[in-house]
Structure formats: C-alpha cells, structure tokens
Amino acid sequence: MAYKSPFSKRLKEARGALGISQKRLGIAAGIDEFVASARMNQYETGKHVPDFNMSQKIAKVLKVPAAYFYTTDDGLAELIRIYGKLSEKNQCRLKALIKEME
C-alpha cells in the first residue's frame, strides 16, 4: 500500500507495535469516542494529517517522539524511536558517540 505521507505510515507502524485499536488510540489522545476510530483511520490512510498539537498527543500515547512521524527515512525513524526510549544520560552518551563519528 502506498502511503500519502510519512505521518500515516509511521502512525500505523507505531500503533501496530503497541497493539492498540484506532478507537482506543484516538480516545487516549483526547478525541471524542464517537469519532475517534474514524479520525485515526483518516490519519492512517493519509486523508487528513493532524496538527502538531494532536500529533504530540498521539506520540505520547504511542510512546514515541513526535519527530518519528515526520521522517521519510526508515532508518532515521528507527533511531528516533530508540532515542526516545533512552534515559537522559544515555541520550547524552549517544549524542557524544555520534559527534565522535562525525
């Protein structure tokens, strides 16, 4: 399936990894329960893209940095996802390591 935006692809991946329904995700992100499933479906199919405030709420529920949704590069998306799970100390260590490799 061709995705219309990186957001829709990443959203579907992150939601699938967490194993929650579109409706449950939408409700947890603050969308009215009666439209939550439909709205998430529109985001996943690329029909609509949420504003940044909503993308931050979705990211928080899915436990990924909001930046994860906006990269077209699969490798970078994975690095962003991993970085977001690291402690602050390990984030600093990773940044130092990357700077050494530069």
Amino acid identity, position 79: L
Average pLDDT, the chain: 94
Compute CA distances 65 → 15, 26, 28, 101, whole Å. 13, 17, 16, 24
With beta carbons less than 8 A apart as the criterion, state whether 63 and 83 touch: no
Q: Tell me: pLDDT of 32 over 80.
A: yes
Beta-carbon count within 10 A of 39 CB: 20
Residue 2 has pLDDT above 70, yes or no: no
- pLDDT for 4 equals 65
Is pLDDT at 71 greater than 80 in this prediction? Answer: yes
Instruction: Report yes or no: 25 and 36 within 8 Å, Cβ to Cβ.
Output: yes
| Res. 11: pLDDT tops 60 | yes
Enter the pTM of the model.
0.89
Query: Residue 92: which pLDDT band, with cuts at 50, 70 and 90?
Result: very high
Q: What is the mean pLDDT of residues 6-13?
A: 95
How many whole angstroms separate alpha carbon 93 and alpha carbon 102?
Answer: 14
